[in-house]
Amino acid sequence: MRRLGRGAGALGGFVVVTALTFLGLLAITFFIGRVVPIDPVLAVVGDRASQAQYDTARAAMGLDRPLAVQFLSYVGEVLRGDLGHSITTNRPVADDLARVFPATLELATLGILIGVVLGVPMGVWAAARQGSWIDQAIRVFALLGYSIPAFWLGLVGLAIFYAGLGWVAGPGRVDIYYDGLVPVHTGLLLVDSAIAGNWTVFFNALDHLALPATILGFFSLAYIARMTRSFMLDQLGQEYITTARVKGVPEWRVIWVHAFKPIRVPLITVIGLSYAGLLEGSVMIETVFSWPGIGNYLTQALLNADMSAVLGATLVIGSVFILINKLSDVLYRVLDPRSRQ
């Protein structure tokens, strides 16, 4: 019973903290929408409208009410799933985001898989060969990932691998004559085409996905490799590692079992933050590759002063950060029994 009570208390605390964090995100999103130098009323009625038309539209949008009342109304609308109406697409923002978010999710997921599969071994290898040319090469490679602008790398990648060599498909999510051939179940084109058994569309979508996902994976790889190397160097300097080596434990076991196991917990946070960063930081890549995701949607909304769409997309991105952080906390407790106390 005592354990059950502690579990219920922990769950209650988790729910309260999550709710307060989300409320804070709502407050920040709301007040950002009120302080940016964009008039949402003018975006709707145009700058040629009369003062009477302007006042009527302002009242219809509820902007003539006190700020506290506007905020409470905004919270209620969000909790009902109403994120407003987009003046760009003339559709509910929630419907737009449900349509574009899977494309970003697919792109970021493949990017983080590339980053983890390559970045973690590279970081471990660099730490195990500290000071060698391998270590130096990996550190320089990671530094490039921090230094090169995403839009520049995207343009260069298109110029070389698409226009020059023809190794990958060009901008867009799929060739135009394949668009709409696959029934939408999840919004993830690779998954939907596999479910439909349409392997032509599947491989065409994968061809379009390869270059932007690799570029995103390069940026996440740089961060993950650098942090993995740092965590591993700390562990390899511990006394228990020296003891294991003196006892004749094989070097691969010292590295991958004794040293790597303790860094799994902080590495989860690094990977989670990197994944969330790819979900919200793919704006430039989506713009360069004409990728129909949330980053491209947010860019077009900003250019058109579509504040409902901007705030809705910002809210979704912030919610993803909260969700991934909370999932990281849960994995912490699963992998590290000490954190359950």
* Per-residue pLDDT in tens (0 to 9) along the chain, 341 residues: 555 555 555 566 667 777 777 777 778 777 776 666 666 676 666 667 677 777 777 776 666 677 777 778 777 878 887 887 887 788 888 888 888 888 888 998 999 999 999 999 999 898 888 888 888 888 888 888 778 888 888 888 888 888 888 888 888 888 888 877 888 888 888 888 888 888 888 998 899 999 999 998 888 888 899 899 988 888 888 888 888 888 888 888 888 888 888 888 888 888 888 888 787 667 778 888 888 888 888 888 877 777 778 888 888 888 887 788 777 777 767 666 655 55
Sign of the four-CA dihedral 25, 335, 270, 295: negative
Write out the DSSP string of 63-95.
TTS-HHHHHHHHHHHHHTT---B-TTTSSBHHH
Residue 179: Cβ within 10 Å count: 12
Domain ranges within the chain, ordered by starting residue:
2-79, 93-340
Q: What is the pTM of this model?
A: 0.80
Beta bridge partners of 92: 85
Domain 93-340 adopts which CATH fold?
A: MetI-like fold (1.10.3720)
Q: How open is the CA angle 156-135-277, to the nearest 5 degrees?
A: 50
How many Cα atoms sit within 13 Å of 33 on the Cβ side?
26
Query: What angle, 0 to 180 degrees and rounded to 10, lies between the N-to-C axes of helices 307-335 and 2-35?
Result: 160
